[in-house]
Structure 1
Amino acid sequence: MSSRPLDIIEKALSEGRSKLLEHEALALIESYGIPVAKYGIVYDENDIERVVKSIGFPVVAKVVSPDISHKSDVGGVILGIKDIEGAVKSYKQIMNNVRKNAPNARIVGVLYQKMANPGYIEVIVGATRDQTFGPVVMFGIGGIFVELLKDVSFRLAPLDPEDAEDMIKEIKGYRLLEGYRGMPPRDVEAIKDILIKTSRIIVDIDRIQDIDLNPIMLYERGKGALTVDVRVILRRA
């Protein structure tokens, strides 16, 4: 493992934070080879054009702040930005919204992220450090399925390929991944890889208490998967 993940963790802890910022969490899983939707963070309005050109349109803009958990509630999220003009406008709008609705919040910057192409199914992967069992990994179909049906599977970490495959196959929603009622089969191999790598993260880095990749956009077989949002909760030694 490179030192970069540990550098990210130590920086957050040294600043008194118990949660990674969005770009830090994305960088952490990227360092383990987990694919993420292309992103960049803007700290200054002058950087907007350079950052969004490197990502490509359309993009979503999200405020980055250690003090804001629900970004939409304070006007900190803007979707469907299609050009440079829209990106600049969104930056100013988010800054104004947050300063008005959360005046005491520290603003680190604005994260721009490529919006996912259509044709995906949402899935979730998570891991936690259980007091009794130690590191545990979770998998489920995303969206209303995980909320309403609690259709998830668990295994102790680290996972091998057989563990990951069993986790995927034992949920009720596996039929959706196989290609239910004429829908195309999904890239199960891509999710197996993400499960294994997530299990490595929770085993490797004992300062992580919880990690949630939600949503992961899972495409047709052979077309991979992209993680859009990541939440990483830290613990002190």
Structure 2
Amino acid sequence: MSMKQVDMVFPESGPDRALAAEIFKIARDDGRRALGLESMGILTAYDIPVVKTVFASTEEEAVKAADEVGYPLVMKVISPQISHKSDVGGIRLSLQNEDEVKAAYREMMESIPDKRPDAVIEGFQMQPMLSGGREVIIGMIRDPTFGPMLMFGLGGVYVEILKDVRFAIAPVNEKEAREMVTGIKAYPLLAGARGAKPSDIDALVDAILRVSRLVCDFPGIEEFEINPLMVLEEGKGAFAVDMRLTLKKNW
């Protein structure tokens, strides 16, 4: 996978609002309020880099998708009823070959219904393993009084355990976005504590600015979350690995 460095400003053409609007329209026409990684096109429309993702609904498709993505890879279940995939064993990491992909498919298809009988398994997403980065989260909840409240913190399981996050009311400017990043207690980890290489802070700031623009452009977004956003070393960018959002009723 190529690693591109993102720009600190929007291109002159701006985000592709029409593309995002079309994705939202399709969801509304289908009667869906909850959107997951299948709607990564929304991020693409706003120039937020995403990890290459191929979807598969059968074991045969999973094998073909794995060949397209390349090994090692990550395999995750897709289900509207499952927000936290790790809680139900819906993630397999560092799969190395076709046999491991087949085994992971069969194990998840057998075990997940036991843990979540209500869950409809729509398929699986296949992504390359990213190494050397740190997981962060960018989220938004629309407050009835203040409007869209942006949130930033360490991602993955850490956001719930450490609760080390910063909030800001959208829209935010570059200074405010940078303060969100530098303001968390764990910022030294991103800045390169104890001789570690610093993370790409500029890419994080850019991603926050783009999310701010997105949630302001579409007031029908009730909740939004990129978790994790994998931030790589300085100059190598940050890439959305998973996302979910909820639309307002009757929007």
TM bucket, shorter chain? 0.7 to 0.9
Alignment of 1:188-203 (within 5 A): 188-203=201-216
Q: Secondary structure at the match of 2:227?
A: strand
1:140-192 C-alpha deviation (Å, 9 max, x unpaired) = 23357644553322222222222212222233322222222212221101101
**Of 53, 73, 80, which aligns to 2:94?**
80
**2:106 matched to 1:92?**
yes
SS in 2 for 1:206: coil
Which position in structure 2 is the counterpart of 1:105? 119
Q: 1:18 aligns with which of 27, 33, 36?
A: 33
> Which residues of structure 1 form unaligned runs of 5+?
none
Q: Take 2:161 and 2:57, find their aligned partners in 1: how far apart are those partners?
A: 39
Aligned mate of 2:228, from 215, 230, 234: 215
Q: How do 1:18-97 and structure 2 match up within 5 A?
A: 18-24=33-39, 26-97=40-111
Could you say which residue in structure 2 is the equivalent of 1:233? 246
Moved more, 65-74 or 160-169: 65-74
Return the offset for 1:213: 1.3
Q: 1:178 aligns with which of 183, 191, 198?
A: 191
CA deviation map 1:104-155 (0-9, x unaligned): 53222111122221x2222221122111111221112335764455332222
Q: CA deviation at 1:19?
A: 1.0
Q: Aligned pair count?
A: 235
Change over 3 Å in CA distance of 1:136–1:105 after alignment to 2:
closer
- C-alpha contact 1:38 1:55 (8 A) present in aligned 2: yes
1:150 and 2:163 are equivalent in the alignment: yes
- Structure-1 separation of matches of 2:211 and 2:25: 19
- Higher mean displacement: 141-150 or 55-64: 141-150
- What is the aligned partner in structure 1 of residue 12 from structure 2? none
SS of the aligned residue for 2:233 comes to coil
CA RMSD, Structure 1 to Structure 2 (Å): 2.3
Change in 2 beyond 3 A, CA 1:107/1:145: closer
Tell me which amino acid in the other structure corresponds to 1:208.
I
How far apart are residue 196 of structure 1 and its match?
Answer: 0.6
TM-score normalized by structure 1?
0.87
Which segment drifts farther, 166-175 or 216-225? 166-175
Q: Tell me the residue number matched to 2:18.
A: 3
Runs of 5+ unmatched residues, structure 2: 1-15
Deviates more, 1:221-230 or 1:13-22: 13-22
How much has 1:2 moved relative to structure 2? 4.0
Distance 1:96 1:145 in 2: 28
Of the candidates 96, 108, 131, which is equivalent to residue 144 of structure 2? 131
User: 1:9, 1:207 within 8 Å by CA — same for their partners in 2?
Assistant: no
Q: Higher mean Cα deviation, 5-14 or 184-193?
A: 5-14
**What is the distance in 1 between the residues matched to 2:122 and 2:239?**
25
Aligned-pair identity in percent equals 39
Q: Is the 8 A contact 1:9 1:20 kept in 2?
A: no
CA contact (8 A) 1:128 1:202 kept: no
